[in-house]
Amino acid sequence: MNLFTLVTGFPGPSGFGSSSTAEQVTNGIQADNLTAIVTGGASGIGLETARVLALRGAHVIIAARNMEAAKEAKQMILRENESACVDVLKLDLSSIRSIREFADNFSALNLPLNILINNAGIMFCPFQLSQDGIEMQFATNHMGHFLLTNLLIEKMKNTAKTSGIEGRIVNLSSIAHHHTYKGGIRFDNINDEVGYSDKRAYGQSKLANILHANELAHRLKEDGANITVNSVHPGLILTNLFRYSFLTFRIIKFFTMLIWKNVPQGAATTCYVALHPSLKGETGKYYIDCNEMPASDLTGDKALAKKLWDFSNKLINSASPT
């Protein structure tokens, strides 16, 4: 990724670039035999991802905290595409109890699961703890998706095995993963307000998304599971993710408007990694503008990835849902 390709939208080796839209990168792809979960699918690039997956024929489960918004999103998709198959389920990624309830509710639907899009997140919020006592950005962006994926992985393995269709997990990270705390993850004081930086805490959670994807990709490969796990940076898109810094980013966008994307462009890399046949078997990689790109050096630290995996499991086990 460089400024020239960002500004011009010039395509990379995949044939797509920063100006490509989610519809364009999935053109001609049939997904009518697939079931997908999209977290945060009620708004922004999550909604666009859900819409395009449904447009290509997938049965889409919109997982969202705001059920009213999720139901409105479903109706919007159905107005555009009467044959779309869309369901909504409540999911609050900052709550261990809610995540477990979501997994149980999804299981009760007795559906297969081919694609998991870990899209939802929060950005740059003031210091606060989740109801389980975990720093909110780490809890929502990483821990929630870590637990959700763990709870759904056996369903994905079984689906891939019985259907013969490769399962795909996509973690939405960010180029912000480069800007984190010293050492990457504050394992010893993850929940401490002292030294908290809303920007670095966000970067920490986005680094965790990539480390999680890489470690899971390694484990699934060792298991011989027909599932790939990859991370994406969607680009700079002004959605409600910026609600804690809206004015600041309006100003920044004015001076950097040439490198910002619209929502259809922002969902393109997610949809490309989730559906495109050219990525069959590709796992543990990082994509920007629908092309594989190098991530930070920390993301290649296998010991750090394993430490985060063990730390995340321990944190879940020690948390006390209310």
pLDDT exceeds cutoff 90 at 240: no
Do the Cβ atoms of 215 and 208 come closer than 8 Å?
A: no
Query: What's the confidence (pLDDT) of residue 267?
Result: 98
Query: What's the confidence (pLDDT) of residue 5?
Result: 53
Q: CA quadruple 292, 297, 303, 308: dihedral positive or negative? A: negative
Residue 253 lies in a domain: yes
Residue 197 lies in a domain: yes
pLDDT exceeds cutoff 50 at 102: yes
Instruction: For residue 139, give every residue at least 6 positions away whose Cβ sits within 8 Å of its Cβ, in sequence order, or none.
Output: 93, 94, 129, 130, 132
Distance (Å, whole) CA 57 – CA 265: 20
Residue 251 lies in a domain: yes
pLDDT bucket at 237, cuts 50 / 70 / 90: confident
Q: Give the residue numbers spanning the domain of 289.
A: 3-317
Residue 192 lies in a domain: yes
Query: What's the confidence (pLDDT) of residue 260?
Result: 75
Instruction: State the chain's mean pLDDT as an integer.
Output: 92
CA distance between the termini of the chain: 44
Q: What is the mean pLDDT of residues 20-24?
A: 98
What region does 57 belong to: left with phi over 0, alpha with psi -120 to 50, or beta? left
pLDDT exceeds cutoff 70 at 259: no
**% of the chain surpassing 70 pLDDT:** 89
- Which domain CATH number covers 12? 3.40.50.720
Catalytic residue among 181, 196, 272, 287: 196
Query: What's the confidence (pLDDT) of residue 3?
Result: 45
pLDDT bucket at 252, cuts 50 / 70 / 90: low
Over residues 106-161, the pLDDT tens digits come to: 999 999 999 999 999 999 999 999 999 999 999 999 999 999 999 999 999 999 99
Q: What is the pTM of this model?
A: 0.92
Instruction: For residue 136, give every residue at least 6 positions away whose Cβ sits within 8 Å of its Cβ, in sequence order, or none.
Output: 94, 122, 125, 127, 128, 129, 130
Over residues 273-286, the pLDDT tens digits come to: 999 999 999 999 99
**% of the chain surpassing 90 pLDDT:** 88
Where do we find the tokens 């009467």? 82
Residue 244 a catalytic site member: no
What's the Cα-to-Cα distance from 129 to each of 55, 82, 120, 259, rounded to whole Å?
38, 41, 18, 33
pLDDT bucket at 303, cuts 50 / 70 / 90: very high
pLDDT exceeds cutoff 70 at 54: yes
Over residues 158-213, the pLDDT tens digits come to: 999 999 999 999 999 999 999 999 999 999 999 999 999 999 999 999 999 999 99
The angle that helices 198-223 and 302-318 make with each other, rounded to 10 degrees, is 100
- If one compares 10 and 124, the residue with the highest pLDDT of the two is 124
| Beta bridge mates, 64 | 90
Over residues 206-215, the pLDDT tens digits come to: 999 999 999 9
Residue 322 lies in a domain: no
Give the chain's domain count: 1
Query: What's the confidence (pLDDT) of residue 320?
Result: 55
Distance of CA 85 to the CA centre of its chain: 21
- If one compares 213 and 1, the residue with the highest pLDDT of the two is 213
What are phi and psi for residue 242, nearest 5 degrees? -90, 20
Query: What's the confidence (pLDDT) of residue 253?
Result: 47
Over residues 83-94, the pLDDT tens digits come to: 999 999 999 999
Instruction: Kindly give the pairing relationship between strand 115-118 and strand 286-288.
Output: unpaired
